[in-house]
Chain A
Amino acid sequence: MLSDPSASQPGAGRPRQRSNVRLGQFLGSPKAMLGLTVVILFISSAVFAPVLAPYDPNALDIPSRLSGPTWAHWAGTDQLGRDTFSRLLFGGRVALKIAVIGVSVALSTGLILGMIAGYGPKWLDNLLLLAFDTVLAFPTIVLALATVALVGPSLELVLIIVIVSTVPGYARMARTATLALKNDEFILAERSLGASTPRILAHHVLPNVVGPLLILAAMDVPVVVTIEAGLSFLGLGVLPPTASWGTILNEGYLVINDAPFMVVAAGIPLVLTTLGFTFLGEALRDIFDPRMGRGRA
């Protein structure tokens, strides 16, 4: 026992078995597999859209406009005869871009602000909380409408709106987790050893706070994608002729009586993506949620 060679390697012994068990649980969960499949499909179709798309998304073909699904146009065509399937593939690129940039910036900003609020002095905490509450008080779409009213719609504005409206969520979560940790004895123990505040935050707070935030991030992807699609649907986000799931839905909505198939097709990728990420996030939470996983004795 004393000279067990495997035990001297980091991560050896029981912890690895544990994460293996978790990985097994994850791979064995139908929810997780379904989510993962959809997410991979979404990412790869967006990345390879130029290769995969059968048509130029902006190529007009007036004679075959507003067709239902055919062999030539799997998802039909719009009012200008553009191929909806190709446009949806390209629309995924916009959604992916917003999701990746929006979520990662919001996550890291929220994490840092939340840890500062939770660990810092009380006045700073109160100040930041007030700021979070104020931002949260503006309903996302209302905030977007108001800013668009002044500066006009653009992709950048959508990103800013997405980030501004989701940062408080991450920050509050990180703050709550940090506050709970702050009074834990192990933080005090680190201080008693002389660990500096940056060291405590980076080595001892961050690893315990980031997990739930990453799960929240996975579950936030649908929210972000929905905000983009919603704003674009209202004509406040990505502007036509650029293909976005929201603009395609809007074009379909305008011809809902003549070509009902279009709103069905345009909604499907949005629904699939949000479902996929939600499933993935749920599966991750089920398996890694600290409350359900490890209860400290």
Chain B
Amino acid sequence: MNAPHLDIRGLTVDFTTPTGPVHALRDVSFAVPQNSVTGIVGESGSGKSTVLWSILGLLSANARVRRGEILFEGEDMLRKGTDALRAARGQDMSVVFQNPMASQIPVLTYATQMRDILYRKRDLSAADKRTLAVEMMERVGIPDPARRIDQYPHHFSGGMRQRAGIAMALLPRPRLLLADEPTTALDVTMEAQVIHLIRDLATELETTVLVVSHNLGLIAEMCDHVVVMYAGEVVEAGPVRELFHNARHPYTRALLDCDPARITRKTRHLPVIEGSLPDLSAPPKGCIFAARCPKATLHCEAEAPSAQVSGGRHSVRCHFPVTEKSVPDAPRILDAPHATPPDAGDIPLLEVPYLNVRFRTMGPIRARLNGVADPFVDAVLDVGLTVRRGETLGLVGESGSGKTTLGRAILNLTRASAGSVRFEGREVRNLPERAFKPLRRDMAMMFQDAIGSLSPRKTVRALIAEPFVIHGAQDRDLDREAERLADLVQLPRAFLGRYPHELSGGQARRVGVARALALNPKLIIADEPTAGLDVSVQGDILNLMAELQREKGLSYLLITHNLPVVRHVSDRLAIMYMGRIVETGEAEAIFNQPGHPYTEALVRGVPQPDPDQRRTAPPLRGEVPSLMNRPRGCDFAARCPFAKDECRQIKPSQSTRADGRVIACHFPLI
């Protein structure tokens, strides 16, 4: 093995805040071997991004590096002057950013931005630089690069923007490539493409990669070495197989256990890590994880463990490292059976025979001028679904698939252009708001943005009690009701006096659940209930929802892009693509054997948190086409690996299988 390309030793960083210093990084040490892909994995607050910005010397103004060395090719980046550091950036090392929407300047073309990056290559003419840039755009898979390089970032779709971001990062041929959550802003099918793109190009260009992510699947799929961080410390580091198959730190173990994609057997009760992050303005004296560790002893609380190396390059910072082999399906996870099995009664709770939602894309005048005869898009097109009492239906799709619009149209928050929505057998589509209002007691919604869906200047108490006020139940003791509901969703009553921005994502989510539950609804439409939550917390919310379902016989329509999660909590699934439902059926059956090629791509598109299950190629090429020019035949034909001529000409109709599955495909996989 070569000497490490990047060697970080004892890095300690504080942030100055109005309430005193926060010790964000404490004694962080790890090495990145040459020509390898190393990943830093951790949840929010672990300090993983701070490490990245320390390497670049671009920490925010209130950060102070107190101790440590960052040796890049033998030179300490922390001792370098501003100019020397700047010389290294964009030359020796480069970055791929998390959010390509925000990290590319909107007012300059890619050609200008890329020419700027090459400004140090004085021997190259402007034309040479442009040629290099076009070549790199081509390499990252941007079609027609010579033309598109003169476009602005907002002309690119999200996936293309991230490809352009990678092109910019690799353009100066850096020897070290840093990637900060490179796929977080992307959909599942794009994520897989970007992972492979970075990995392949890094090998080809002999670039060492350090990638930061919270996504265990990405880490397993992409990295050779893994560094696990928790609350500003490295708790474990080692080769990827060691780490995923033989994790020795209790935190790493717990983190792996929490990942729903690693739980092979279906379960209604997902594991979580109890407790919360320690306060980093006064970190504990002993082990940083002791407070949440099931195996912690007095010794752990009194004395901080030092990193011990075991078996080659695997190091762990724990007094009592786990030694037994990890089993993917941890035995302490119990499959809680359904208390009230979904009844197959004749009238389903919610029945949508078919529903269409159309949005106007441009004003009538502009459409006339442009010669557009039909200035509308079909966000939801001939969608049919059924939710039975006590059942959870998972509605899965990528962004732009129309799943959120569908949920809102059912709740009469968005106007449906055609179709029918029946709630308990009664037609409710496009009812006037006054007529719909009583129904809002029976149908509640949980919104994607946990904090943003709470009115910012109301206390939690007022927010929870609001449904009673709106529906004229003011004779009730609102304080008592608020406390009852807070208890129900396991939110400590002390939080009732707080404002939404003072809550964590998980706490805000509980408030959302309480508001949805206030009037004893029969159906809850939950839009991405785990969005923005860490892996160790998302189980909490899903378990709570499952518990409430058992107790109250609730039905859920669960809207999500997260297939591994939805699989565990849904009875049936509906897969949506470009506004249509392409497959519905029992969750387990679909998961075990997808019937529609798109479903298969989704199921296989999720990077597996197991380095032994790496894919050699991303399951899907290309991007979701624009709704404005819907293909003539099957919507999925352009990306489908099995597509035949018939698929490009004729729209497939839905066919029902023996097991009750409905698939819209000419050549289903089953």
Residues of A at the B interface (CB closer than 8 Å) are: 1-4, 7-15, 184-186, 188-196, 199, 203-204, 207-208, 294, 296-297
- Which A residues are CB-close (under 8 A) to B408? 188
Which 7 A-B residue pairs are closest in the complex by CB-CB distance?
A: A194-B440, A185-B453, A7-B494, A192-B445, A207-B457, A189-B453, A13-B497
- How far, in whole Å, are A207 and B459 apart by their CA atoms in the complex? 13
Residue ID in chain A nearest B447 by CB atoms = A185
Cβ A14 vs Cβ B498 within 8 A: yes
> B368 on the interface (CB 8 Å rule)?
no
Contact partners of B466 in chain A: CB under 8 A = 190, 193, 195
Which residues of A have CB within 8 Å of B459? Answer: 10-11, 15
Q: What separation, in Å, do the CA atoms of A78 and B494 have in the docked complex? A: 67
CB-CB nearest in chain A for B471: A194
Partner of A192, one of B440, B455, B458, B495: B440
Which of the residues B448, B494, B496, B502 comes within 8 Å of A185, measured between beta carbons? B448
Q: What is the chain B residue whose CB lies nearest that of A205?
A: B455
Q: Does B341 contact A (CB under 8 A)?
A: no
Docked Cα-Cα span, A189 to B479, in Å, equals 21
Cα distance A8–B479 when bound, in Å?
8
Q: Given A8-B479, A185-B448, answer yes or no on A2-B492 (Cβ-Cβ < 8 Å).
A: yes
- Contact indicator A185/B501 (Cβ below 8 Å): no
Contact of B497 among A12, A184, A186 (CB under 8 A): A12
| B210 in the interface (beta carbon within 8 A) | no
B455 and A191 contacting across the interface, CB-CB below 8 Å: no
- The answer to whether B452 and A199 have CB atoms under 8 Å apart is no
Q: Are B493 and A186 in contact (CB under 8 A)?
A: no
What residues on A are CB-neighbors of B498 within 8 Å? 13-15
B628 contacts partner chain A, Cβ-Cβ < 8 Å: no
- Compute how far the CA of A297 lies from the CA of B479 in the bound complex, rounded to whole angstroms: 28
Instruction: Give the residue name and chain of the A residue nearest to B407 (CB).
Output: A192
- Contact call B496/A7, Cβ cutoff below 8 A: yes
Assembled-state Cα–Cα distance A98/B143 (Å): 64
**Residues of chain B contacted by A191 (CB below 8 angstroms):** 413
Partner of B445, one of A9, A189, A204: A189
A169 to chain B, nearest CB (A): 24
16 pairs across A/B with beta carbons < 8 Å?
A1-B494, A7-B497, A8-B493, A8-B497, A11-B459, A185-B452, A188-B413, A192-B444, A193-B466, A194-B436, A194-B440, A196-B470, A204-B455, A207-B457, A208-B456, A296-B451
CB neighbours of B467 from chain A (8 A): 193-194
Residues of B within 8 A of A188 (CB): 408, 413, 447, 453
- Docked Cα-Cα span, A10 to B479, in Å, equals 10
Say whether B502 contacts A14, CB under 8 Å. Answer: yes
> What are the residues of chain A within 8 A of B493 when measuring CB–CB?
2-4, 7-8
Q: Which of A7, A11, A207 has the most CB of B within 10 A?
A: A7
Considering the chains assembled together, what is the distance between the CA atoms of A183 and B479 in angstroms?
A: 30
* Closest chain A residue to B363, Cβ basis: A122
Residue in chain B with minimal CB distance to A3: B493
The smallest beta-carbon distance between A295 and chain B, in angstroms, is: 8
Extra pairs beyond A192-B413, A199-B470 (8, CB < 8 Å): A2-B493, A3-B493, A8-B479, A184-B452, A185-B449, A192-B440, A194-B437, A194-B467
Instruction: List B contacts of A8 (CB < 8 A).
Output: 479, 493, 496-497
- Is A194 a contact of B449 with CB atoms below 8 Å? no
Could you tell me the distance in whole angstroms from the C-beta of A7 to the nearest C-beta in chain B?
4
A208 and B457 contacting across the interface, CB-CB below 8 Å: yes
A192 to chain B, nearest CB (A): 4
Q: Which residue of B lies closest to A210 (CB)?
A: B457
Q: Verify if B40 is at the interface (C-beta below 8 Å from A).
A: no
A227 to chain B minimum Cβ distance, whole angstroms, is 33
Q: Which residue of A lies closest to B467 (CB)?
A: A193
B647 within 8 A of A: no
For residue B501, which residues in chain A have a CB less than 8 angstroms away from its CB? 294, 296-297
Q: With A15-B459, A185-B448 as given contacts, are A193 and B497 in contact (CB-CB < 8 Å)?
A: no
Q: Which residue of A lies closest to B504 (CB)?
A: A297
**CB-CB < 8 A to A7: which residues of B?**
493-497
Distance (whole angstroms) from the CB of B501 to the closest CB of chain A: 5
Output the least CB separation between B196 and chain A (Å): 32
Report the Cα distance A141→B498, complex, angstroms: 49
What is the bound-complex CA distance between A12 and B661, given in angstroms?
Answer: 54
Alpha-carbon gap, A10 to B460, bound state (A): 10
A150 CA / B457 CA spacing, docked (Å): 48
A49 CB, nearest partner CB in chain B, Å: 39
Contact digits for B8-34, partner A, Cβ 8 Å, 1 yes 0 no:
000000000000000000000000000
Measured in the bound complex, the distance between the Cα atoms of B447 and A104 in whole Å is: 38
CA distance A185 to B459 in the complex (A): 17
B445: chain A residues within 8 A (beta carbon): 189, 192
Residues of B within 8 A of A184 (CB): 452
Q: Indicate if B411 sits at the interface (CB-CB under 8 A).
A: yes
Q: Are A193 and B451 in contact (CB under 8 A)?
A: no
Nearest residue (CB) in A for B486 is A2
A189 to B500, CA, bound (A): 14
The residue among B408, B441, B497 with the most chain A CB atoms within 10 A of its own CB is B497
Question: Any chain A CB within 8 A of the CB of B515?
Answer: yes
Contact of A194 with B494 in the complex, beta carbons under 8 Å: no
State whether the Cβ of B598 lies closer than 8 Å to any Cβ in chain A. Answer: no
**Complex: A1 Cα to B470 Cα, angstroms:** 30
B72 at the interface (CB under 8 A from A): no
With both beta carbons as reference points, the residue of chain B lying nearest to A295 in the complex is identified as B501
1/0 per residue, CB under 8 A from A, across B486-511: the answer is 00000011111111011001000000
With a cutoff of 8 Å between Cβ atoms, the chain B residues found around residue A203 in the complex are: 455, 458
Residues of A with C-beta under 8 A to B499: 14-15
A25 nearest in chain B by CB position: B18
| Neighbouring B residues of A189 by C-beta, 8 Å | 445, 447, 453-455, 512, 515
User: Which residues of the partner chain A approach B436 to less than 8 Å between Cβ atoms?
Assistant: 194
Query: CA A294 – CA B502 in complex, angstroms?
Result: 10
Does B461 make an interface contact (CB < 8 A)?
yes
Which residues of B lie under 8 Å from residue A194 when comparing CB positions? 436-437, 440-441, 467, 470-471
Q: Are B461 and A10 in contact (CB under 8 A)?
A: yes
If A7-B493, A194-B471, A199-B470 touch, does A296 touch B456 (CB 8 Å cutoff)? Answer: yes
In the assembled complex, which residues on chain A have CB atoms less than 8 Å from the CB atom of B437? 194
Which A residues touch B447, using CB under 8 A? 185-186, 188-189, 192
A1 vs B451: C-alpha distance in the bound complex, in angstroms?
22
B457 / chain A contacts, CB cutoff of 8 Å = 207-208
Proximity string of chain B (167-200) to chain A, C-beta cutoff 8 Å, 1 when within and 0 when not? 0000000000000000000000000000000000
The answer to whether B452 and A296 touch across the interface, beta carbons within 8 angstroms, is: yes
Query: Would A186 and B455 be within 8 Å (CB), given that A8-B479, A15-B499 are in contact?
Result: yes
Q: Are B515 and A193 in contact (CB under 8 A)?
A: yes
User: Which residues of the other chain, A, contact B512 by a CB distance below 8 angstroms?
Assistant: 189
| Chain A residues positioned under 8 Å from B497 (CB to CB) | 7-15
Residue from the list A4, A10, A12, A186 in contact with B453, Cβ < 8 A: A186
A42 to B433, CA, bound (A): 51
| B494 touching A186, Cβ below 8 Å | no
Closest A residue, CB atoms, query B436: A194
Q: Which residues of A contact B458 (CB under 8 A)?
A: 203-204
Query: A2 touching B494 by the CB < 8 A rule?
Result: yes
**In the complex, which residues of chain A have a beta carbon less than 8 angstroms from the beta carbon of B441?**
194
Minimum Cβ distance to chain B for residue A41 (Å): 33
CB distance from B240 to the nearest CB of A (A): 31
Rounded to whole angstroms, the CA-CA distance of A4 and B493 in the bound complex is 8
Residue from A12, A15, A186, A196 in contact with B452 in the complex, judged by beta carbons closer than 8 Å: A186
B527 to A, closest residue via Cβ? A185
Find chain B residues with CB under 8 A from A12 CB.
497
Closest B residue to A21 using CB positions: B18
Nearest CB of chain B from residue A71's CB, rounded to whole Å: 52
CA distance A185 to B543 in the complex (A): 24
CA distance A110 to B471 in the complex (A): 31
Distance to closest chain B CB from A180 (angstroms): 12
Q: How far is the CB of A208 from chain B (nearest CB, A)?
A: 6
Q: Give the shortest distance, in Å, between B362 (CB) and chain A (any CB).
A: 13
Output the least CB separation between A212 and chain B (Å).
13
**Contact status A4-B454, CB under 8 Å:** no
Determine the distance from Cα of A191 to Cα of B439 in the docked complex, in whole angstroms: 12
